[in-house]
Structure 1
Amino acid sequence: MTRRIKKVAIIGSGIMGSGIACHFANIGVDVLLLDIVPRELNAAEKAKGLTLEDKAVRNRLVNDALKASLKSKPSPIYHQKFANRITTGNLEDDIAKVADVDWIMEVVVERLDIKKIVFEKLEQHRTPGTLITSNTSGIPIHFMSEGRSEDFQKHFCGTHFFNPARYLKLFEIIPGPKTAPEVLDFLNGYGEQFLGKTSVVAKDTPAFIGNRIGIFSIMSLFHAVKELGLTIEEVDKLSGPVIGRPKSATFRTVDVVGLDTLVHVANGIKDNCLKDESLDLFTLPDFIDTMMKNNWLGSKTGQGFYKKEGKEIKSLDLNTLEYRAKKSAKFATLELTKTIDKVVDRFKVLVAGKDKAGEFYRKSFAALFAYVSNRIPEITDEIYKIDNAMKAGFGWEHGPFQIWDAIGVEAGIAMMKAEGQEPASWVADMLAAGNSSFYSVKEGATFCYDIPSKKQAKVPGQDSFIILDNIRKSNQVFKNSGVVIEDLGDGILNCEFQSKMNTIGGDVLAGLNKAVDLAEKDFQGLIIGNQAANFSVGANIGMIFMMAAEQEYDELNMAIKYFQDTMMRMRYSSIPTISAPHGMALGGGCELSMHADKVVAAAETYIGLVEFGVGVIPGGGGSKEMALRASDTFRKGDVELNILQEYFLTVAMAKVSTSAYEAFDMGVLQKGKDVIVVNKDRQIATAKAHAKLMAEAGYTQPVKRNDVKVLGKQALGMFMVGTDSMEASHYISEHDQKIANKLAYVMAGGDLSEPTLVTEQYLLDLEREAFLSLCTERKTLERIQHMLKTGKPLRN
């Protein structure tokens, strides 16, 4: 039987329930979101004369919860119109509607007695064969299905989303005693392919995999902070981006999640994992007890480890338990890693540190390595599942066993023993069997040590992915300091940026041109894609600043033209070009995508032309392209000025999409041409499939455009009146007005006396001239310099 999910019912509309409902709506599924009926009227309902029988009252809790979720930031939904896919109701009037859904998911309060009552009610209306799952962070799954029918138990298991459901990729699947294998297989595949998650099947143990290891890691640091005499700022500095963890690191993460949530899970582990050799670490330190009593739970109560007073953020002194001004955190060991771009290459340096930072890393990694090795086979039988859970659920760039590999398995064991820790016996067996690492790469695939067979086995589920790290060396066709070009097979090349933050400078442009040359000569198609945190943050503004400051305007003009020519080369090559943006795709990264034949974007793509922030207009074809796209949108009877104004404002306001779906509204992505992939891991493989299809369908080299309709003085006058009134009203600065007027001149096609058809090159020349003239302005140089120093735009 082929199972398809067309409609789901989410029972419980709290933060988690509403978030999950929004994510199902994100992927096109109809959602029935149900919650309880209020027991009394609120003040507003009383004032309106409503009764407890009115539908608005009966659905108040669910409607208010969903409304709050849709207003929250970051947004749980890709596009606000997707909320139309969610229907709300209550558990008294609408529970019978669960008979028509394909999957029922319970997301009520974390109490077994309440969950069991909910399941009893649901079973009265559930159609046999319907999937039914509980989103729980730790209640044993086998308790929940007790007393339910055979069919219920066969189709029941735990499905643990991490909050926020849209952004965190971990999707834990926990089978019950009678869960059918085909149900597990379906959920595993559905989570990965449709929900865009990293699916991990876990054993039914307290806190499952992600929270068991994640909470241990946090609790370990809670105890180490006092032992090593560190401040919370120092721990956050040491446990953040330097080791590939989120910026929120440890204490800020706890503030965001809520101290009460962490304490609840930690207590659950302590009470239910009595054979855990590190059980003492789950005992709450005194400062946590005090914070709980004081209700200092983090963001939800206005103070936790950090507290905002006015504009100042203060930190909690763990010795005095009083808030004080934040202190900067510096360590000599961290200075040694500043020149090491790849996080994985830093670990050996960090654990060799001679200062307190080195001591911190040796102690924390030794404890972590010992703990994860001893959790096998308790929480899972597979090493890679622990790493996948930590990367997907806690945002770690590398899982514990990958970090251990980076340090060296034997070196890690020596470090552990020096810290009084012992790994599980299977690690020694692994070394004795001739395996010197947990992972290896062979034939373009990742292999992982398999404990029962004492051999490296291929990690399952890779066949639908192309992992560039695995093929970069073996399939390399060309390399310079800016790019690596890889042969993906089937006649398709991939051009992968390698610059810092994937900025686009001379070497990247040279690499792009080389990639087109190679593809046109010996291949069928070209993808521009990478698997770094961000696709590209734009042009190398440091290079632009240096040329402008030195007044090397001829060289700068040539550099801008080289950028423009490269973009046009991508558009007018004889092979299909596909851009695969994800994360930030800003400025030049956006322009590159707009000039590809097709964009295969990850759903989490934040794309836009942001050049106004550094005092210039898009100069790599972006300004031209927005004028061209406006022209292509003109239809008979349209008010063309209004259409052009929309495209103008997208650039002038430096709009950035909060998802790839929003980029369609901005005109940056094009409906009917560009596509979106929910699971970023599948993006390169999907892009390759599209490139291959386009090539095999008989791709024809496009003809250069000479039919772009520009509106001339008519549009230019309207834009200038608008910018003049905005400057006079102090909405924009004088320099903002100057930049906007330059953009207006380009997008209007100059001061032509009437609407005219022009070539793309005509608009590119106007664009380059405007960009160059702005680079001669002192205020533009101030903006670029400020961005280079602070990473933030300057309004001057």
Structure 2
Amino acid sequence: MTATPLRIRKAAVLGAGVMGAQIAAHLTNANVETVLFDLPAKEGPKSGIALKAIENLKKLSPAPLADKTRAAAIVPANYEDDLDQLKDVDLIIEAIAERMDWKLDLYKKIASHVSPTAVLASNTSGLSINALAEALPEEMRHRFTGVHFFNPPRYMHLVELIPTRLTERSVLDGLEAFLTTTLGKGVVYAKDTPNFIGNRIGVFSILSTMYHTEQFGLGFDTVDALTGPALGRPKSATYRTADVVGLDTMAHVIKTMADTLPDDPWHKYFKAPVWLSGLIEKGALGQKTGAGFYRKAGKDIVVLDLAKQDYRISEQKASDEVAAILAIKDPAEKFGKLRASSDPQAQFLWAVFRDLFHYSAFHLADIAETARDVDLAIRWGYGWRLGPFETWQAAGWQQVAGWIAEDIAAGKSMSNAPLPAWVTDGRKGVHGNDGSYSASASADKPRSSHPVYKRQLFPDPLLGEKFDQGSTAWENEGVRLWSHGDDIGIISFKTKMNTVNDFVLDGVQRAIDEAEKQFKGVVLWQTAEPFSAGADLKGALGLLQSGKLAQFEAMVANFQATSMRIKYSLVPVVAAIRGLALGGGCEFQMHSARTVAALESYIGLVEAGVGLLPAGGGLKEFAVRAAKANPEDPFEYLKKIFETIAMAKVSASALEAKQMGLLRDDDVVVFNPYELLYIAKQQASALAESGYRPPLPARAIPVAGDVGTATFKASLANLAEGYFASPHDIDIASRIADTLSGGRIERGSLVDEAWYLALERRHFVELAQTEKTQARIAHTMTTGKPLRN
């Protein structure tokens, strides 16, 4: 099958509320020209509501814009004056309030202005897509669909695509490819049922957690201790999440379920608990009002205690028995122990899982095409490590099914609705070699054959899914050089957090030797995030503390040799990064022929934070770039860079890393992290095919010299006087300045790369021997936080 590409040059978002504005921001992140509409303002500029929403995007945290300067690219508009702008728009996303009458009224208003080929989508989270379609003129209905983004749209991977009975296949295929590659999303098809898949199952899980909180008399903080990372779920767990979402929003979603699902066997539970309604009445709506289930009291976090009708210090911990059960690796044993335990916390956890499994199985046929769609929707939309069906299957499908049936018969479960017959047909689960189970089709269905997924060499795997790990060409303890049966090699690290130690340094150099013999290009790519958290501090500190200075110096020199081997490789080395690329990880990508970075890449030279300076060739590389940018006055370029390095700044996205100079203009930013390897291999191949040669050695780099260093130091004096920096901070920053400027030589002198590398090494080794730097390294290793000394 070949999908007709949906060419989207320009998009419009209708509704500049929280969701609409953030969807517009993410379209703009992806270089899609976007017009943001709202009602005409009663005073001031006509498009004032949209203007204010665009301005507000710069203040939100987490930031919807991957680079704040992009706010200026969003065009503000209003429905009175600007509907004519819709005529050349290819995609319209409606994101106004969840009122059927308002939406239908808006569709009538825009219909005559919409181009005959534009796709119209509603970002509703709960209204019927088919009912909305009926309000459209007949010729538009085949181009209308539901497209439900999760909040915040930049960061949440899930987008639910909800076709109507009339939506054309080509429209869906085109939109799926656009959402996947251009916006970087994970697309799940949902049936047109209330709350679709993610919120139907996710909100039920929250409701059952709230119900059982009361049944077992547990504190809100105890429930959060049990339902967060201990279960492979986000740190915000249940009640903190409710505070972040807003308790009024939570109550609204629950009411939607109550209003739209009158025949659901669990319907009597679709109501806000008394204590939730009580908080809302008091105006305690969570984070946005400063109080909800939790609030801050000075430096403490306090939690609502229902018995005392007041807040108390949050203790948030599991009982010893339950903590021990949750630490068990084998899921079958873990679930068996939870069910058998008499500890109320264990009984609570079993009850929450039992009712979630029961609900998911009962509704699978009505809400989703397959169990895969349910699991991926919950993982991508709610941040769980495993979806409900995967969790059940891992715990032993039939054993758990038997326990659920026993509890239903004994009246212990929330509903007495029977388990569907397929649950107990002897199966081992719902995910297997032939795909995932479809209850509506009574068959297993494979993953989508849409061509866009050929770009995902390693998609997000479901339980039990195995992808071809390629064949190893060479490996040592630090790295593996491997390939997927083609002529591009892949180098992956084997250390924790992909940190860099001697095995990695030697391994990368040797792997490039091998790649030059066997491949036409090579990609530095990690099988899991991060790209690299930088140098192995533990090993470095060990050498220093045992007085092995010569070995320590040799390690620094080897680090530099590795960066230079990457830079001067005869086959192009492309760095493919996602997540953290810090310190040495950042320096490796700086030396590559090209970097391909996932949008959510957090890149920085952070050595100053541990009392050091970058010495893997990073400062040298900036000096080379400065000389290229402005041979007459390299200082201008270095000014911006100096602050970034001295303050150990980390980019908040790959786009921001370009602004900061940590990525080059021709480096590639990829929106879907699962496409990263595919695109990096394409880049390596294209470089090789175009006759790639490494750069010529830089032998005549003009320096900013002693004048540059003096200018940098003058700016540091102000920091020192204002007590913004400690004397040790100033020492580190002065050494960074000295290195970037090329040392104490005359401005404009010409030096080579070896000169800069020697400067980096000298300052790095001298700093490493200071007591304060060693204290900083030790503190960071034990606490994960920087020490200001």
Same fold? TM cut 0.5: yes
CA distance in 2, matches of 1:104, 1:485: 45
Counterpart for residue 138 of structure 2? 150
| Amino acid paired to 2:664 | Q
Shift of 1:10: 1.4
In the TM superposition, what whole-angstrom CA distance separates every residue of 1:586-616 from its partner, at most 9, and x where no partner exists?
1122112112111000111111111111111
Counterpart of 1:4 in structure 2 is 7
Match of 1:655 in 2: 649
Which amino acid counterpart does residue 598 of structure 1 have in structure 2? Answer: R
Secondary structure in structure 2 of the residue aligned to 1:732: coil
Counterpart residue identity of residue 28, structure 1: N
Aligned pair partner of 2:191 in 203, 212, 218: 203
> Given the superposition, is the C-alpha separation of residues 280 and 428 from structure 1 closer, same or farther in structure 2, using an over 3 Å criterion?
same
Deviations 1:201-223 (A, max 9, x none): 21110000111111111112112
Q: What residue is the counterpart of 1:48 in the other structure?
A: none
Letter of the 2:247 partner, please give it.
L
Q: Is the contact made by 2:479 and 2:503 (CA closer than 8 Å) also made in structure 1?
A: yes
Give how far 1:474 is off: 5.4
Q: Report what 1:26 is aligned to.
A: 29
Matches within 5 A, 1:349-748: 350-351=334-335, 352=337, 358-417=346-405, 419-420=407-408, 423-429=419-425, 431-432=426-427, 436-440=428-432, 447-451=435-439, 452=441, 454-455=443-444, 457-461=446-450, 462-467=453-458, 470-471=466-467, 473=469, 475-478=471-474, 482-636=478-632, 639-672=633-666, 674-748=667-741
SS at match of 2:602: strand
Judge conservation of contact 1:334–1:350 (CA < 8 Å) in 2: no
Q: Which amino acid aligns with 1:603?
A: L
Amino acid at match of 2:39: I
Deviation digits for residues 452-479 of structure 1, max 9, x if unmatched? 3644634544322111874465534455
**Matches for 1:326-337 after TM superposition, within 5 Å:** 326-332=314-320
Aligned partner of residue 139 in structure 2, secondary structure: helix
Amino acid at match of 2:500: I
Greater shift in the superposed pair: 450-459 or 564-573:
450-459
Cα separation, 1, equivalents of 2:49 and 2:30: 25
User: Which residue number corresponds to residue 234 of structure 2?
Assistant: 246
Aligned to 2:287: 299
Structure 1 residues 178, 454: CA separation in 2 closer, same or farther (over 3 Å shift)?
closer
CA distance in 1: counterparts of 2:499 and 2:332, whole angstroms: 28
Does the Cα contact within 8 Å between 2:15 and 2:94 map onto a contact in 1? yes
Aligned match of 1:50: none
Question: Does the 8 A contact of 2:189 with 2:369 survive in 1?
Answer: no
Match of 1:52 in 2: none
Query: Equivalent residue for 1:171?
Result: 159
Q: Is the 8 A contact 1:492 1:691 kept in 2?
A: yes
CA distance in 2, matches of 1:250, 1:768: 49
- Supply the AA of the counterpart residue of 1:395: G
Q: 1:357: Cα distance to partner?
A: 5.5
Shift in alpha-carbon separation, 1:230–1:741, aligned structure 2, 3 A: same
Offset of residue 359 of structure 1: 4.0
Percent identity (aligned): 37
User: What are structure 2's unaligned runs of at least 5 residues?
Assistant: none
The C-alpha deviation readout for 1:13-40, integer Å capped at 9, x for no partner, is 111111111111111122121111234x
* Matches of 2:482 and 2:402, distance apart in 1: 39
Residue 457 of structure 1 aligns with an amino acid whose one-letter code is P
- 1:88-131 residue CA offsets vs partner (Å, 9 max, x unmatched): 12111112322231222221111111111111111132233321
How far 1:480 sits from its partner (Å)?
A: 5.3
Q: Which amino acid aligns with 1:621?
A: G
1:70-219 to structure 2, matched below 5 A, reads 70-219=58-207
Rate the CA distance shift 1:668–1:338 in 2: closer, same or farther, 3 A: farther
> CA separation in 2, counterparts of 1:705 and 1:346?
56
| Contact map agreement 2:401 2:423 (CA 8 A) in 1 | no
SS of structure 2 residue aligned to 1:37:
coil
Cα distance in 2 for residues equivalent to 1:318 and 1:559: 58
Aligned with residue 20 of structure 2, among 13, 17, 22: 17
Q: Would the alpha carbon gap of residues 381 and 33 (structure 1) be closer, same or farther in structure 2, given more than 3 Å must change?
A: same
Look up the SS of the partner of 2:436 in the other structure.
Answer: strand
Please list the CA deviations of residues 525-582 of structure 1 after superposition, one character each: whole Å capped at 9, or x if unmatched.
2211125343222222222233323333222222222222222222222221111111
CA shift at 1:754, angstroms? Answer: 4.3
Is the CA contact (8 Å cut-off) linking 2:524 and 2:576 kept in structure 1? Answer: yes
Partner of 2:744: 751
Q: Deviation at 1:373?
A: 1.8
> 8 Å contact 1:203–1:379 — kept in the other structure?
yes
In structure 1, what is the equivalent of residue 773 of structure 2? Answer: 780
1:766 partner amino acid: L
User: If the length of structure 2 is used for normalisation, what is the TM-score?
Assistant: 0.91
Whole-angstrom CA distance in 1 between matches of 2:153 and 2:292:
24
Asked whether the 8 Å contact 2:191–2:367 carries over to 1, the reply is yes
Q: Residue 147 of structure 1: CA displacement?
A: 3.9
Contact 2:6–2:178 under 8 Å retained in 1: no
- 2:766 pairs with 1:770: no
Separation in structure 1 between the aligned mates of residue 623 and residue 87 of structure 2, nearest angstrom? 52
Pick closer, same or farther for the CA change 1:339–1:143 going to 2, 3 Å: closer
Counterpart contact for 1:384–1:459, Cα < 8 Å:
no
- For 1:411 and 1:764, the matched residues in 2 are separated by 62
515 and 279 in structure 1: CA distance in 2 versus 1, 3 angstrom threshold: farther
Q: 1:339 to 1:562 in 2, by over 3 A?
A: farther
- Secondary structure of the 1:663 match is helix
Deviation at 1:733, TM superposition (A): 0.9
Rounded to whole Å, the distance in 1 between the matches of 2:518 and 2:326 is 40
Q: Tell me the distance in 1 between the aligned counterparts of 2:117 and 2:537.
A: 58
Contact 2:523 2:684 in 1 (8 A): yes
What's the CA shift string for 1:630-653, capped at 9, x where partnerless?
Answer: 2222244xx432222222222112
Task: State the Cα distance separating 1:197 from its structure 2 match.
Answer: 0.8
Aligned pairs, how many?
766
Relative to 1, partners in 2 of residues 1:15 and 1:472: Cα closer, same or farther, differing over 3 Å?
same
- Distance 1:666-1:333 versus aligned 2 partners, 3 A rule: farther
The range that moved more, 359-368 or 475-484, is 475-484
TM-score of the pair, normalised by structure 1: 0.91
1:288 partnered with 2:284: no
CA root-mean-square deviation: 2.5
Aligned to 1:44: none
TM-superposed deviation, 1:298: 0.8
| CA–CA separation in structure 2 for the residues paired with 1:708 and 1:356 | 70
Whether the 8 Å CA contact 1:205–1:379 is kept in 2: the answer is: yes
**Aligned partner of residue 570 in structure 1, secondary structure:** helix
CA distance in 2, matches of 1:669, 1:677: 13
Is contact 1:362–1:415 with CA below 8 Å preserved after alignment? no
The amino acid that maps onto 1:115 is K
How far 1:358 moved relative to its partner? 4.5
